[in-house]
Amino acid sequence: MNTQVFERALRNSQPDAGQVIERKTDKATFDLKAYLSEKRVEVEAALDQSITVVYPEKIYEAMRYSLLAGGKRLRPILCLASCELSGGTIAMAMPTACALEMIHTMSLMHDDLPAMDNDDYRRGRLTNHKVYGEDIAILAGDGLLAYAFGFIVEKTKDVQPTHLLQVVSKLSYAVAATGLVGGQVLDLESEGKQNIDVETLKFIHAHKTGALLEASVLSGAILAGANQDLLQRLTHYARNIGLAFQIVDDVLDVTATTEELGKTAGKDEKAQKVTYPSLWGIEESKRQAQNLVDEAKAELSPLGEKAIPLCAIADFITARTN
Ligand code: GRG
């Protein structure tokens, strides 16, 4: 595909601000809405089959309650798209894609607990602890986290064992104090402090939000046996979209409604959190997010047609409304 056609396909894949609109497809266009909904259907089906309810039923029901509560399924879709870009198949990546969603979901469940962010709503329904109680919500989160790793190892087929080990290792460090957990600790410690600078904020979000997004992109590529050059490009792409994702999240917390978000809006201000909009203002935050998305896409443009889905997903990150 020549550069002009690639640019045109990318332009056509860009959703208008605030919504993802349907586009007619021909050979040179890419229908992001159709792509996301097709992948979501595949992910939902795989997630539904990933955990069945057995004795003791309550814990499995609690795990399924949050895992199957919807959500954008961005992390699994990034993993699948990155695996395909790197020459692999959906089947190779689906167990890891499901595991990423299990881990993401458990992090939301724990984040919603009264000891952490304390929210009653998530993905448009009552949070896990509001339905099952704090004790079961903690255990259901633990159950999802531990199960995710076994699920990858047991269910992944046609992947070199060394690649599988790399994925398990990457994912584990993305969750540990080197990733999500570390970012969350610093986030909790920063609440109510007004002297948090941009560098600290970046550290928090690179760990709390960025690490799992990066692991999502890279794990798909590793499963497919991507070379170092491609892994490096994808790392830059992932870091840029990870930060952009969090900046947009902060903006939406101010600009979107509780109904749109499916969780309580305006929480950052209430918790006296320093955020990108509080440091830069809303317009500058949006501009910075767009710059990061543009950089992410530029990193992948030498890959041509294959990179169209990941570039379109980058655009979706700034255009999303929840
Ligand atoms: C991982 C062991 C372990 C513990 C959890 C609570 C915690 C430690 C970390 C918090 C992580 C967290 C909640 C980060 C925020 C990430 C974020 C912006 C989530 C929203 O993601 P979306 O918009 O949500 O993709 P949906 O619902 O669409 O999936």
- Ligand 1: distance of its center to the CA of 50 in Å? 20
- Please tell me the predicted confidence (pLDDT) of residue 185: 97
What is the pLDDT, as a whole number, of residue 23?
A: 36
Nearest CA to ligand 1 atom 26: 71
Ligand 1: residue whose CA is nearest its atom 24: 71
* CA 15–ligand 1 middle distance (angstroms): 24
pLDDT band at 5, cuts 50/70/90?
very low
φ, ψ for residue 122 (rounded to 5)? -155, 135
3-class DSSP assignment, residue 86:
coil
Rounded average pLDDT over 202-231 = 97
- The pLDDT-based confidence of 6 (bands split at 50, 70, 90) is very low
pLDDT value for 249: 93
- DSSP alpha helix (H) spans, 156-281: 161-175, 180-190, 198-205, 211-223, 228-255, 258-261, 267-270, 276-280
159 C-alpha to ligand 1 centroid (Å): 28
| Pocket residue to mutate for ligand 1, from 98, 104, 105, 246, most atoms within 8 A of Cβ | 104
Of the two residues 23 and 241, the one the predictor is more confident about is 241
The pLDDT assigned to 78 comes to 98
Residue 118 burial class via C-beta count within 10 angstroms: exposed 0-12, middle 13-18, buried 19 and up: middle
Count Cβ atoms below 10 Å from residue 21 Cβ, excluding itself: 12
What's the rounded mean pLDDT across residues 199-219?
A: 96
Distance CA 291, CA 160 (A): 37
Atom of ligand 1 nearest to the CA of 108: 13
Q: Is the peptide bond before 56 cis (omega within 30 degrees of 0)?
A: yes
Using one digit for the tens of pLDDT, what is the confidence trace for 73-108? 999 999 999 999 999 999 999 999 999 999 999 999
Model pTM greater than 0.85? yes
- One-letter identity of residue 45: A
Please name the amino acid found at residue 174: A
**DSSP letter at 208?**
I
CA angle (244, 34, 155) in 5-degree steps = 80
pLDDT of residue 320: 87
How far is residue 25's CA from residue 115's CA, in Å, rounded to a whole number?
Answer: 48
Atom of ligand 1 nearest to the CA of 101: 29
Residue nearest to atom 15 of ligand 1 (CA): 209
**Averaged pLDDT, 307-316:** 96
pLDDT bracket for residue 28 (50, 70, 90):
low
Instruction: Work out the average pLDDT over 27-35.
Output: 82
Ligand 1 is surrounded, with C-beta below 6 A, by: 71-72, 74, 104, 107-108, 110-111, 116, 123, 145, 175, 180-181, 184, 208-209, 249
Most distant CA pair in the chain, distance: 58
Ligand 1 atom closest to 107 (CA): 5
Q: Give residue 237 CA to ligand 1 midpoint distance, Å.
A: 20
Residue nearest ligand 1's atom 27 by CA:
71
- pLDDT for 29 equals 82
Q: In the chain, what is the straight-line distance between the N-terminal and C-terminal CA atoms, in Å?
A: 33
Concatenated DSSP letters for 104-141? HHHHHHHHTSTTTT--SEETTEE-HHHHH-HHHHHHHH
- CA 112 to ligand 1 centroid distance, Å: 9
The residues pairing with 122 across neighbouring beta strands, listed in sequence order, are 125
- Amino acid 194: pLDDT: 83
- What is the CATH number for 128? 1.10.600.10
Mean pLDDT of the chain: 91
Q: Give bridge partners of residue 125 from the DSSP assignment.
A: 122
Ligand 1 centroid–CA 105 distance in Å is 7
User: What pLDDT score was predicted for residue 97?
Assistant: 98
Range of the domain at 81: 3-319
312 has a pLDDT exceeding 50: yes
pLDDT tens readout for residues 275-303 = 999 999 999 999 999 999 999 999 999 99
Q: pLDDT tens-digit profile of 143-191?
A: 999 999 999 999 999 999 999 999 999 999 999 999 999 999 999 999 8
Tokens of 89: 């198949």
CA distance 155 to 55: 22
Query: 107 CA distance to ligand 1 centroid (A)?
Result: 5
Among 33-42, 61-70, 272-281, name the one with the lowest average pLDDT.
272-281
Mean pLDDT of 232-260: 94
Burial class (CB in 10 A: 0-12, 13-18, 19+), 162: exposed
In the chain, how many domains are there? 1
Question: Could you read off the pLDDT of 158-171 as tens digits, one per residue?
Answer: 999 999 999 999 99
The answer for residues whose C-beta is within 8 angstroms of residue 75's C-beta and 6 or more apart is: 97, 100, 101, 104, 212, 213, 216
Q: Are 236 and 296 in contact (CB under 8 A)?
A: yes
Q: Which residues contact 227 (CB under 8 A, 6 or more apart)?
A: none
CA of 108 to the centre of ligand 1 (A): 5
